């Protein structure tokens, strides 16, 4: 793994730390020549980080909806 990636368990990472590590992994996979085994390890950790980020975003959205009484407005652009 690149030196800048964490060996900290993914479930202990907050959103910012997980996203930063994911960015590092993506950059490493795109720019450096690696063995297949190392690339697969990075890819697997990256997938777990994507899942962690999605879970944390879902939790944040739920909390916002609860705090706003369920009247949260979607921020999607109208077409």
Q: What is the pLDDT of residue 41?
A: 95
Which are the contacts of 13, defined by CB distance < 8 A and separation ≥ 6?
6, 21, 49, 52
So what's the pLDDT on residue 4?
A: 43
Structure token pair of residue 55: 């879970």
Taking the alpha carbons of 41, 43, 49, 52 in that order, is the dihedral positive or negative? negative
Q: Which two tokens stand for residue 66?
A: 């609860």
Domains and CATH numbers, the chain: 13-67 (1.10.287)
Does 5 have pLDDT greater than 90? no
Q: Which residue has the higher pLDDT, 78 or 30?
A: 30
CB atoms within 10 A of CB 63: 10
Closest CA to 13 of 56, 43, 72: 56
Q: What is the pLDDT of residue 1?
A: 46
pLDDT digits (tens, 9 = 90+) for 30-74: 988 899 999 999 999 999 999 999 999 999 999 998 888 866 566
């Amino acid at each position: 793994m690149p030196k800048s990636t964490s060996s900290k368990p993914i479930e202990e990472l907050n959103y910012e730390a997980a996203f930063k590590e994911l960015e590092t992994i993506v950059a490493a996979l795109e720019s450096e020549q690696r063995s297949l085994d190392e690339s697969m390890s990075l890819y697997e950790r990256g997938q777990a980080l994507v899942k962690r980020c999605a879970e944390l975003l879902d939790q944040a959205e739920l909390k916002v909806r609860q705090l706003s009484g369920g009247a949260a407005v979607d921020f999607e652009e109208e077409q």
